[in-house]
């Protein structure tokens, strides 16, 4: 529609110029006016094409995942960029502790900015470090959950926010890396 608008403006400019020259009576003026008018039409068409191209580029950026996970978290959950970055990093740290190293490498290579997110996550000492050896996998899961909650508290986020972050993060992973990778993440976070 914008392209059509610019073209219509250029054509109107061309017609007005021709009509003005025709009333002054000079044939050279008419040719010059037509040239000027055609230039206006061409400029209008180029402007319209540029507008269409920039809109397509923006849509492709969104579709290709160039809008980062932290931007999505901040917009959808109303948290700051730093909270989004640290919260995503804390979730990926918890997943890393539970995932096979090769699976986590696959996940981290498929997500832009993974290193930055991991670095932004608060450093939490395992509050239940001895528990894992006593109760096995259940202790490790509890320890990861406790560490994740402590990370969110350090980011001034309620531990309840974990339940809001995780679906956004897993959806992002599914959209950028595929369903299999998202399932690996969900499994590592002990989600149904």
77 and 131 inside one domain: yes
| 56 compared with 144, residue with greater pLDDT | 144
> What pLDDT band is residue 33 in, cutting at 50, 70 and 90?
low
Q: Is 18 in the same domain as 87?
A: no
- Same domain for 94 and 124, yes or no, is yes
Q: Are residue 102 and residue 177 in the same domain, yes or no?
A: yes
pLDDT for 65 beyond 50: no
Question: Does residue 2 carry a pLDDT above 50?
Answer: no
Domain limits at 8? 2-63
Instruction: Note the pLDDT of residue 124.
Output: 77
- In whole angstroms, give the CA distance from residue 2 to residue 14: 19
- Confidence (pLDDT) at 30: 61
DSSP-assigned letter for residue 121: S
Q: By mean pLDDT, which of 38-47, 85-94, 160-169 is the weakest?
A: 38-47
- Cα-only R_g, the chain: 29
Domain match, 140 and 114 both: yes
- Mean pLDDT for 8-32 is 51
Q: Considering its fold, how many domains does the chain have in total?
A: 2
Please tell me the total number of residues recorded for the chain in this structure.
192
- Cβ burial of 84 (10 Å; 0-12, 13-18, 19+) is buried
Looking up tokens 């981290």 gives 108
What value does the mean pLDDT of the chain take? 73
Which tokens belong to 33? 């006016």
Last residue of a domain, one of 28, 63, 98: 63
Mean pLDDT of 166-173: 96
Whether residues 141 and 59 fall in one domain: no
At residue 66, the pLDDT reads: 47
Q: How high is the pLDDT of residue 146?
A: 87
Query: Does pTM surpass 0.75?
Result: no
Residues 129 and 110 both lie in one domain: yes
Helix locations, 121-161, DSSP H: 131-135, 137-154
| pLDDT score for 69 | 94
Same structural domain, 78 and 56: no
Q: Averaged over 144-162, what is the pLDDT?
A: 92
Mean pLDDT of 67-93: 95
pLDDT: which is higher, 126 or 45: 126
Q: Are residues 93 and 158 in the same domain?
A: yes
């Amino acid at each position: 529609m914008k392209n059509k608008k610019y073209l219509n403006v250029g054509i109107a400019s061309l017609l007005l110029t021709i009509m003005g020259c025709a009333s002054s009576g000079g044939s050279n003026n008419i040719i010059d006016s037509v040239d000027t008018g055609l230039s206006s039409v061409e400029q209008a068409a180029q402007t319209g094409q540029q507008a269409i191209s920039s809109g397509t580029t923006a849509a492709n950026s969104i579709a290709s995942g160039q809008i980062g996970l932290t931007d999505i978290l901040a917009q959808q959950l109303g948290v700051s960029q730093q909270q989004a970055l640290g919260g995503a990093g804390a979730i990926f740290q918890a997943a890393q502790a539970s995932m096979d190293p090769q699976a986590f490498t696959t996940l981290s290579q498929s997500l832009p900015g993974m290193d930055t997110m991991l670095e932004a996550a608060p450093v939490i000492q395992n509050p239940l470090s001895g528990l894992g050896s006593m109760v096995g996998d259940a202790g490790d899961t509890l320890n990861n959950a406790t560490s994740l909650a402590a990370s969110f508290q350090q980011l001034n986020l309620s531990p309840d926010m974990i339940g809001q972050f995780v679906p956004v993060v897993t959806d992002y992973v599914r959209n950028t890396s595929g369903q299999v990778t998202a399932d690996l993440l969900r499994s590592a976070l002990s989600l149904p």
